[in-house]
Structures are given as structure tokens and as C-alpha cells.
Amino acid sequence: MRDTGEYLFTSESVSEGHPDKVADRISDTVLDAFLAADPYSRVACETLVTTNRVVIAGEVRGPGSVTADYLKHLARLAIHDIGYEQEGFHWQNAHVECHLHAQSAHIAQGVDAAGNKDEGAGDQGIMFGYACTETPELMPAPLYYAHLILRRISELRRIGHPSVKGLLPDAKSQVTLRYVDGKPVGATSIVLSTQHEAHLEQSQIKAMVRPLIEEALPAGWMCPEAELYVNPTGTFVIGGPDGDCGLTGRKIIVDTYGGAAPHGGGAFSGKDPTKVDRSAAYAARYVAKNVVAAGLAEKCTIQVSYAIGVAKPLSVYFDLHGTGRDIDEVKLAKVVDGLVNLSPRGIREHLHLNRPIYVPTSSYGHFGRTPDAEKGTFTWEKTDLVDELKRAFGR
């Protein structure tokens, strides 16, 4: 996004009941099951969900105790937790298939450590990390507030709060903010589509969600009433996987920075941390967030690249978007190289990624979340490099 002039920027979010997010949740449930049984399991799991049907497929290497029947059971529990007990998609009645098979030996030989060879990247690719000062979480504001609106509605729905009675799991939000000289100053339009029970009128739904939307935004940021679009297509009773097929990995912009930063193209859910699509994207966010948290810049984008089977990243690139406070980006790259080992093994060990911590990432974004020391989740959101970065640049 530009740092001068006036412009509008939009990001969207989707709830945990969106079909693609149901698929992400099941894939990460499978991953966590394997990592709980063996922290060094290899998992590349994809899930398809449609009308009363779930298909789990992919490649794994892990203990035999994690059986297909057990994974089918966990998939049903995940669907139940999301809240699907509808005729067209029900946690008890859906037909669940599991077609996981052994990881390719040819992939394994490139990834596994052997002799003097360190563990290699699970695939080639480019990954990006980003942070900015638009929100306390150092995330782009349009995405942050799009997530926040849906999370608040979901929290109330899950506890059965009367203010959202009749709203169902599938929902989408979209927030457009006006920027002046690179700073967000308010919303110009907001879209919210939410699945609901048949008896609710659209006017009732708008009355339910309007105060929740306004509460999620900073004071004075609410869009004009004419630019608040709630269920703009009308009735939204048929939703979730019954209304639209869902697949793992189809919401990669929702998962990251809402379009405010580049994306390398790789999805996260269902992949163990040897897959740099996931782990290196986490590491890049970790570094970018610490750079901004240290006050070295107002914005930071990082790109890293890998070759399959090779441990060392092929490139590391920093862009401070002209906001670096007398920071040389070449020196910054050298300083970071001394603080964080960006090899697959180095990332896994530094961020403690070989644990069953991934289900919470499957909805409302992988970034901008609060680390939980007890559960070990979102370690890449820590700002424990700040002091060392400041020292390195005399701050």
C-alpha cells in the first residue's frame, strides 16, 4: 500500500464455518494428531468437504497408532466443534473417507538429514513475511478488523448468546478502509454475509450484527449506514459445505495479510513444519514483526526462497518501504542471519514447531494472534528479538 495520498484498501475474512475453513480445520486436526503421536511425523494432508461428505487425502509418515478410523473420528469432532448439525452437513451423518498414503521415498530422501547432510526444505518456493504499525498486533488494519468482526460473532454464537441467536457457522466479512498518507482513518464500507436460520428476516440480522461491527472498529470508524451491506444477496440459509464445496488451502490471502503484502502462493494447513510453505512463512512473519516492534521501521516485508532438499535459503530479501529509520537493509539481513537460523531445522527448533499446535491457526488468520506460552501456540508472534535488534543498530 502507498504511503502518500488518499486511497481505499479492502480485505476480507471468512469464519471457521466457511467451507474452505472447515477443510483447513480438518487438515490441521490430522496434522496435530500425527504430531501428538510423533513430533517428527511428516504430513501433507488435503481435505474436501461437500454435502454430507468429507474426503481426506495426502501423504504421511508417522506411527501406525494414528489410524484411518481415528482420523475419521477426529474429523467428526472438528465438524461438531464448528457447529454443523444441519441436514446437508452434520457431524454425525456425513460420510467421511480417509485416503492418506505413505510419503514418497524420493521426497523423503531430499528432506531427511543423513550423514553430513542437514535436513532439507520439503519443497522449492518463495515465502513472504510482513508487519506494519497500523494495529497494535502489527497487522494490516483492513484484515485485522475483518477478522475481529467475525471472531466476535463466532464467540457469541458458540456460547449461545441471545444477541446472535439464529446465526449459523458460515460467514464472510469484508472491510474497506480509507487511508490518508499511508494511515487508515476510517471505514468507507463493510460487508457481512452470515448464514442464518430460516425464520430470521434480513432486517433482524442487520440489527443483530450492526452493534458488533461497530464495537470491533475504533471509535468513529463506522462506515455510513448506506455502505453497510449485510447479506446483500438476501436469504442465506443453505451454507457451509452443503452450499459450496470446500478445499484445504483456498484462503491463503485471508490466512496471511489480506492482500497488503505479497504471497508466495503456498498454503499452510495440513502441512508439517518441514514444509517451508508453512514454517518459513511463519519465520518470515516472526522476523518482520520483530523489526517493526523494535522501531527500526514502520513497515517490513521479507522474502525467503528455498530449493527442495537444500537446507540453506537461496535468498533473503528485506524491504522497509522507505520507512526504515536510517536502517541499511543489507546490514539488517546480516544481523538477522546471526539471530535466526532460517534453515528448515533452525526454524522448527527456534519456533518449537514440532508440536500439535496447528488447529487454532486454521481460522481467523495465522498472523496477528496472541502467543500462548502454556499451549505453545503462535510462537512466531513473539517479539523476543527486539532487544538484540535495537542493540545491533544502536537504538
User: In the chain, which residues fall in CATH 3.30.300.10?
Assistant: 6-14+140-239, 125-133+275-392
Helix (H) or strand (E) holding 71: helix 68-82
- The 3-class secondary structure across 181-199, one letter per residue, is CCEEEEEEEEEEEEEECCC
User: Is 20 labeled as ligand-binding?
Assistant: yes
Q: Which are the contacts of 115, defined by CB distance < 8 A and separation ≥ 6?
A: none
In terms of phi and psi (left: phi > 0; alpha: psi -120 to 50; beta: otherwise), the region of 153 is: alpha
Q: CA-CA distance, 151 to 182, in Å (whole number)?
A: 26
Q: Using CB atoms within 10 A of its CB, is residue 37 exposed (0-12), middle (13-18) or buried (19+)?
A: middle
Cβ(131)–Cβ(139) below 8 Å: yes
- Distance of CA 235 to CAs 199, 203, 355, Å? 10, 11, 42
Q: Among candidates 353, 330, 261, 334, which has minimal Cα distance to 299?
A: 261
Q: Is 103 assigned to a binding site?
A: yes
Note the pLDDT of residue 113. Answer: 56
Residue 319 among known ligand-binding residues: no
pLDDT under 50: residue ranges of the chain: 114
pLDDT on residue 121:
80
Q: Are 36 and 214 in contact (CB under 8 A)?
A: no
- Secondary structure (3-state) at 327: coil
> Known binder of ligand: residue 108?
no
pLDDT at 361: 98
59 appears as a binding residue in the annotation: yes
- What is the CATH number assigned to the segment(s) 125-133+275-392? 3.30.300.10
Domain range 6-14+140-239, CATH class = alpha beta
Per the CB < 8 A criterion, the answer to whether 233 and 194 are in contact is no
- All residues at 6 or more sequence positions from 208 whose CB lies less than 8 Å from its CB, including other chains: 163, 164, 167
271 among annotated binding-site residues? yes
State yes or no: 275 annotated in a binding site: yes
The answer on whether 171 is annotated among ligand-binding residues is yes
- State pLDDT tens for residues 107-163: 555 565 545 556 778 788 999 999 999 999 999 999 999 999 999 999 999 999 999
Q: What is the pLDDT of residue 68?
A: 97
Question: What pLDDT does residue 309 have?
Answer: 85
Residue 122: the pLDDT is 74
Q: What are 262's three cell numbers?
A: 505479497
44 is known to lie in a ligand binding site:
no
Query: Where are the extended beta strands (E) located within the chain?
Result: 6-14, 42-50, 53-61, 85-86, 89-90, 95-102, 125-132, 167-180, 183-196, 228-230, 246-247, 299-306, 315-319
Phi, psi of 391 (to 5 degrees): -60, -40
Q: Say whether 3 counts as a known binding-site residue.
A: no
